[in-house]
Amino acid sequence: MVTKNGINYLEGLRTGDEKIIKAIYTSMFPKVRHFVLKNEGGQQDAEEVFQNALYQLSIRLKVSDIEIKSSFEAYLFTVCKNIWRKELNSKKRWVRNEEVIALKSEESNHSEAIIAQERWDLFEEKLQQLSPNCKELLKDYFKKVPYDRIVKKFQYASENVAFQRIFKCKKRLADLIKKDGNYAKLKS
């Protein structure tokens, strides 16, 4: 996958080409930094997120492979967002003291983040395979749009019909995920 400026970032990462990896920094780090700073993080956090994202992607390229459907830039940004979201969640849980978090080794942190990201990719791929109607419906449902508004918006006969439709859309998504050969590998 070659980008606008003719550099194949993914190949560069696979072969560990320092020039290309630096080019990835130049083109993408400011955007990720902006995102982390806007979301309760600092410069140090941004650097760690970016470094971890590149590290985890490199490992995946060695151990299995990565198939990117969008652009490399967009994908890297998604990975960074997920890493930061996970970090924020665990910080919040730590503050709320909801659970005792067993200290994990650094390797485990990385390998679990890698698997979680691969699962995320799989779920997203299957979600995109649903009909536009199903996608929109599930999105509204999870945004907690009240049933009566869903009924109006999608012109269903009743709330029960809306419920049935949500059930079918979710089931379809679940079936698509289960059918994928990679799902078994990525289960906990």
Partner 1 sequence: MEEHVYKRIEAYISGNMSAEDAQQFESEMATQPDLKEEVALYTSINHHLTETEFEDTNYNTAYKKEIDTYIESEEGKALKKKLLKVKEAYKATSQEEAPTSKTRPLYYILSIAAAVILVFGLLFTGNSNTDLYTDYYQSSELPSFTSRSDETSLLSKASLAFKNNDLDTSLSDFKEYLSVSKEIDPLVYIYTGLIHAEKGNLEEAIAQFDLLETSQSLDNSRALWYKALTYIKFNESTRAKEILTTLLENPSNYKYTEAKELLDKL
Cβ(84)–Cβ(45) below 8 Å? yes
Q: From residue 135, how far is each of 12, 81, 105, 130, 138 by CA, in Å?
A: 35, 22, 38, 6, 5
Asked if residue 71 binds partner 1 (CB under 8 A), the reply is: no
Asked if residue 59 binds partner 1 (CB under 8 A), the reply is: yes
- Count of other CB atoms within 10 angstroms of residue 24: 23
Asked if residue 90 binds partner 1 (CB under 8 A), the reply is: yes
Chain Cα centroid distance, residue 93: 20
Asked if residue 95 binds partner 1 (CB under 8 A), the reply is: no
CA distance 17 to 65: 17
Asked if residue 150 binds partner 1 (CB under 8 A), the reply is: no
The binder of partner 1 chosen from 36, 46, 76, 138 (CB under 8 A)? 138
Asked if residue 14 binds partner 1 (CB under 8 A), the reply is: no
Q: From residue 186, how far is each of 36, 64, 69, 102 by CA, in Å?
A: 28, 12, 19, 22
Look up residue 165 and give its amino acid.
R
Nearer Cβ to partner 1, position 1 or 21? 21
The binder of partner 1 chosen from 4, 44, 107, 179 (CB under 8 A)? 107
CA distance 97 to 91: 10
Q: Site residues (CB under 8 A) for partner 1?
A: 16, 18, 21-22, 25-26, 29, 47, 50-51, 54-55, 58-59, 62-63, 82, 85-86, 89-90, 107-108, 110-112, 114-116, 119-120, 123-124, 127, 131-133, 136, 138-139, 142, 149, 152-155, 164, 167, 170-171, 173-174, 177-178, 185-188
